[in-house]
């Protein structure tokens, strides 16, 4: 079972990676990043929950496929009723929906994690990249640096509401994949450091073994 609530980095990765990639590519990339192998239904269900699409047909791209409405005016392929619905819900350039919240607002995700709005609109990387995990922001402020590339911020005690800087720990994605795959437990910053050390040792041993088998 994939513990989505415990790992917001899973959703963050899928939001960024899914658009433009096939199901097979998504599953392979997720496995490489986290050491977790998703089933096709698991991936499909999560894509629906996150509101992201690959832009493929049946999990693969069809060469030469062209949308039926490409190059056609809206009134050529949309009913008048549908057009009217669109007109009622469209916003003029520069306007924002009535329920837009200001930058700096916070929200709690369905998985129980706090996110902070950092930009008025999505910045282009994904449909929701104007919201970021508060844990990441707190860690960056406490450490005076950005989260290093290839690393993630986690809660040492497993509580996503505990944003004490001492409770926010850093892992490389490689360490995270090994810790998750091997079920290495930790309960605080101290035991988390031990878990990372065990993961590093395990990966080093695996690397030596692979060289011997090559």
Specify the pLDDT at position 76.
Answer: 63
Specify the pLDDT at position 77.
Answer: 47
Query: pLDDT for 124-143, tens place per residue?
Result: 555 567 788 999 999 999 99
What 3-state DSSP class applies to 196?
Answer: helix
Task: Tell whether the model's pLDDT for residue 67 goes beyond 50.
Answer: no
What 3-state DSSP class applies to 200?
Answer: helix
Task: Tell whether the model's pLDDT for residue 88 goes beyond 60.
Answer: no
Specify the pLDDT at position 92.
Answer: 52
As a whole number of angstroms, the distance between CA 2 and CA 43 comes to 10
Cβ proximity of 115 and 132 under 8 Å: yes
What 3-state DSSP class applies to 106?
Answer: strand
Where is average pLDDT lowest: 34-48, 64-78, 100-114, 158-172?
A: 64-78
Per-residue pLDDT band at 171 (split at 50, 70, 90): very high
- Give the mean model confidence (pLDDT) for residues 180-190: 94
Per-residue HEC secondary structure of 111-172 comes to CCCEEEECCCCCCCCCCCCCEEEHHHHHHHHHHCCCCCCCEEEEECCCCCCCCCHHHEEEEE
DSSP 64: T
What are the residue ranges spanned by the domains of the chain?
Answer: 4-55+99-213
H or E element, residue 108: strand 106-108
Higher pLDDT, residue 87 or 198 = 198
Query: pLDDT for 3-59, tens place per residue?
Result: 788 778 788 878 877 887 788 888 887 877 767 788 888 898 999 988 888 765 444
As a whole number of angstroms, the distance between CA 159 and CA 179 comes to 18
Cβ proximity of 191 and 169 under 8 Å: no
Tokens 């990249």 -> residue: 129
């Amino acid at each position: 079972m994939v513990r989505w609530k415990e790992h917001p980095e899973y959703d963050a990765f899928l939001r960024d990676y899914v658009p433009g990639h096939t199901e097979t590519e998504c599953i392979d990339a997720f496995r490489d990043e986290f050491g977790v192998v998703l089933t096709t239904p698991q991936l499909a269900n999560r894509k629906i929950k996150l509101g992201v699409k690959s832009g493929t047909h049946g999990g693969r791209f069809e060469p030469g496929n062209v949308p039926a409405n490409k190059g056609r005016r809206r009134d050529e392929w949309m009913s008048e009723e549908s057009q009217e619905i669109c007109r009622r819900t469209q916003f003029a350039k520069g306007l924002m929906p009535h329920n837009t919240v200001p930058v700096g607002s916070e929200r709690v995700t369905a998985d129980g994690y706090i996110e902070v709005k950092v930009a008025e609109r999505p910045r282009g990387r994904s449909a929701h990249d104007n919201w970021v995990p508060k844990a990441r922001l707190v860690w960056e402020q406490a450490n005076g640096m950005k989260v290093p590339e290839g690393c993630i911020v986690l809660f040492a005690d497993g509580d996503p509401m505990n944003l004490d800087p001492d409770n926010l720990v850093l892992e490389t994605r490689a360490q995270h994949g090994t810790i998750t795959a091997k079920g290495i437990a930790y309960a605080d910053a101290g035991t988390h450091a031990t878990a990372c050390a065990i993961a590093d040792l395990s990966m080093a041993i695996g690397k030596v073994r692979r060289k011997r088998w090559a």
